[in-house]
Amino acid sequence: MSELSPGGWAFSELLVEVFRVNGLLLAAGDALTRPAGLTSARWQVLGVVDHGPATVAQVARTMGLTRQSVRQTADALARDGMVAFTDNPADRRARLMTLTDTGRTALRYVEEQQAGWASAIAERMPHSELRAALAVLRDLGDLLEDTHDR
């Protein structure tokens, strides 16, 4: 078994902390979205589709998820009347997902709640630290995408 370098240890610790924070963010997101009949996963899908009609595969690529998981979420959103599937002129097999009025109303409610929550959290940390953390995570994401694409 290989020994971790000091940088490898730091990366491993960061990885564990990102997993922990991800779990906390998903739990907070679920609590924030519950009154609108959503979950964090449903919120994410609605957020992507809010930018324009998209196929399940396009949403999955945007979010870095599998098509299967997005398909399950999209089907649940359709059953609840929050999205509708329409014909896709570019591909008959890959229908486009669009927001319904119900979905748009739920998404706007969650966005309003999230704005207050995010501002309250941000007041407890220096802005410069939040910007630095964002820069590190973006750089790490770019590095991982480069490594994955090889």
Tens-place pLDDT, residues 8-64: 999 999 999 999 999 999 999 999 999 999 999 999 999 999 999 999 999 999 998
Tokens of 130: 């939040």
Only one residue has tokens 């059953």, namely: 79
Dihedral sign of CA atoms 125, 127, 133, 134 in order = positive
> Residue 2 has what pLDDT?
83
| Percent of the chain predicted with pLDDT > 90 | 88
Cα 88 to Cα 64: distance, rounded to the nearest angstrom: 22
Q: Is the pLDDT of residue 149 over 90?
A: no
Domains of the chain: 28-149 (1.10.10.10)
- The closest of 58, 65, 54 to 98, measured between CA atoms, is 54
The 3-state DSSP class for residue 98 equals: strand
- Using pLDDT thresholds of 50, 70 and 90, give the confidence band for residue 101: very high
d(Cα 26, Cα 22) in Å, to the nearest integer?
6
Predicted confidence (pLDDT) at residue 150 exceeds the cutoff of 90: no
Q: Global pTM?
A: 0.86
**What is the Cα–Cα distance from 114 to 33, expressed in whole angstroms?**
9
- Nearest Cα to 72, choosing from 97, 89, 92? 97
